[in-house]
Chains A and B, each alone.
Chain A
Amino acid sequence: MSASVDFQLQLYRTMVTIRHFEERVKFLFLEGIMPGTIHQYQGQEAVATGVCAALRADDVITSTHRPHGHAIAKGLTVESIMHELFGKTTGCCRGKGGSMHLGDLEKGMVPAIAIVGGGIPVATGIGLAFNMKQEPRVAVCFMGDGATNEGTFHESINMGAIWSLPVVYVIENNLYGASTPISQTAKVAHLADRACAYGILGVTVDGNDVLAVYHAAREAVERARAGDGPTLLEAVTYRITGHSRRDPCLYQPEEERKQALEREPLCRFATALLAAGVDQVVLDAIMAEVDAEIEAAVRSAIAAPDPRPEDALDGVFV
């Protein structure tokens, strides 16, 4: 399978958007301008990008405490995300959600679930609804490696399997759950091996190779849409930033970090594109457009009015 250059440049644009968005946000956060706490996505861009590129607009994803990349890849605007991070009423959750709960169901993204493992049953239920309503739509559940040790993982994927639900369970294996290496909390060589416990297909893919992720996701999504049930798709990647806030990552061996930086997905994809004959000028132009979009979002977010305190009372019930 090969992908057209235009399509690959779309993927590149999404990855650059995520990376530059995250770098800008990190800066705003360290400057003390942005409230709250953040869990960032640098290094994992190929996963959200590759998976979401295999989805249709009306397919639905669930996300985690680390949702910025998923939101961008699923088509939420940079502006609506940035405004949410600043806690503005113009944000995608009207300032009620914040960084860990980004989402917009109209774009096919459930407000992100920051309880580790909490999204796995929800994605399963979304798949159940698609089946019951006989809609040819697919649910994707993004989860971290750490989430695979929650009880919800077992309960949900088993249900997805026995009911042949149109769900793709995507494990972003960045080798750590917070500070704890996955090698210390799981005995299997590949987390996708756990699929055999449910009688479904498990696939492990290089999560820093956006095209590899895209192709694996496309197959899983096609199977799901065709009624052939769920796939457990493990994308092996690395978080090249802190777990949250100002984490210096002292628990990651220096050599491991160094190697991970060499394999990080964005440079790697850029190198591949250049090797395939894409002109650097084209990539530079994409970066410039993306940066302009991000800067505009920062400016408009800072200028946007804060919610009124008593707005807190709205929206509990219909």
Chain B
Amino acid sequence: MAHLSIAEALRQGLREEMARDERVFCIGEDIGIPGGWGGAFTVTLGLEQEFRARMIDTPISEAGFFGAALGAALMGLRPVADVQYSDFLFCAMDQIVNQIGVMRYMSGGKVTVPLVMRAPVGATGRGAQHARNPEAIFYGVPGIKIVCPATAYDAKGLLKAAIRDDNPVLMFEHKSLYGSKGARAESGALDASSDIPDDDYIVPIGKGIVRREGGDVTVIANLLMMHRALQAAEELAAEGISAEVIDPRSLVPFDWELVEQSVRKTGYAVVVEEGPRTGGIGADIAATLAERCCDYLLAPVARVASPDIPVPFAPPMEDYYRPDAARITRTVRQLRDALPA
């Protein structure tokens, strides 16, 4: 059993999958340069020493190498393509949305696209173009599975599941959770490290997890917001409110059963997301819960999200933009206060 950060757990997962299956390879910018950084957040650091021919350093050509990854996947290889910041997924949008997401379907189910895409998210003091949480945009694109690990255990397990999946899987990783070290350390980082079993394991795609049990309100949150939700749950407990924190881990497919079960118990649901509120994942969760278990909801589903603005640079404005534990506790209190005792 080793205790690893998310960056280390992902690296170990990649190493094991590449050793296990020679069809697996990595493709991206600055991922295997000797003396370099192992990608923007150290995930692939040193892998080029073991797998030189399967660590493909690309030019800065996102549309090109995402499409190339698709081509290689169609020929039976299992690429792991990454962008340095999720904002650059938009440079490859045609390949991701019009090609990767529809290729299998268009073929009448004849072709498979075993392709993993990795993208760091989160507002971390870099300004508007290195800051997005674009999960909701891709959530609305049919044909792509989406996973969002909040811990090192899940990061490794979901990555392995994604690599072994015969479908395109997009993995969002949070810059503040990587635990990148040395010169690539993030300021304001959180500890998301876990004990990692020595034995091979996967975390199944589509399965959420209850991070903290509670009976009064269900808080649904992933990535950095999951950690903020746990913080909020701790504060709420001191006030006598028992919050159940659910980490869906996957967005597509979504573990509706797990969330529904919890809501049937608590009667209240709060969805937390780091991206903007309008068109967000919270909107879809609220609508779906209304459809599935309206009778059990004692109040409308509440949403905690960012305002509908680009990400500002200055720290006071960025802190205002990004949801935190205080906003979650406030929302939970309001939700319960709104109801006659």
Interface residues of A (CB under 8 A from B): 35-37, 87-88, 93, 95-101, 113-118, 146-147, 149-151, 177-180, 184-186, 245-248, 250-252, 306-313, 316
Contacts and interface: CB of A to CB of B under 8 A. Distances in A.
A196 B21 CA distance: 44
Contacts of B319: 309
> Chain B, interface size: which category?
35 or more
A253 B307 CA distance: 46
Interface in B1-50: 29-30, 33-37
Interface string B104-134: 0000000000000000000001111110000
Contacts of B125: 35-37, 98
Interface string B310-325: 1011111111110000
A178 B314 CA distance: 25
A309 B316 contact: yes
Contact of A96 (B61, B63, B314): B314
Contact of B313 (A36, A247, A248, A309): A36
B240 interface: no
Q: Which 9 A-B pairs have the closest CB atoms?
A: A87-B314, A98-B313, A309-B320, A149-B59, A95-B314, A250-B35, A179-B36, A251-B35, A185-B59
A88 B309 CA distance: 19
A116 B60 contact: yes
Interface string B51-80: 000000111111110000000000000000
A250 B37 CA distance: 9
Given A87-B315, A115-B87, A251 B308 contact: no
Contacts of A101: 127-129, 313
Contact of B57 (A99, A184, A307, A310): A184
A151 B61 contact: yes
Contact of B59 (A35, A98, A113, A146): A146
Contacts of B63: 151
B183 interface: yes
B315 A35 contact: yes
12 contacts: A36-B126, A96-B313, A98-B126, A100-B129, A101-B128, A101-B129, A150-B91, A180-B36, A250-B35, A306-B314, A312-B312, A316-B309
Contacts of B62: 150
A98 B125 CA distance: 9
Contact of A247 (B64, B183, B307, B310): B183
Given A101-B129, A179-B37, A245-B183, 6 more contacts: A96-B313, A115-B129, A146-B59, A178-B29, A180-B59, A185-B58
B130 A100 contact: yes
A88 B312 CA distance: 12
A115 B29 contact: no
Given A97-B128, A100-B126, A180 B57 contact: yes
Contacts of A310: 320
Nearest to A185: B59
Contacts of A246: 183
A96 B317 contact: yes
Contacts of A35: 125, 314-315
B313 A95 contact: yes
Which of the listed residues A93, A178, A248, A251 has the most CB atoms from chain B within 10 Å of its own CB? A178
Contact of B60 (A87, A149, A248, A307): A149
A114 B320 CA distance: 23
Contact of A114 (B33, B64, B129): B129
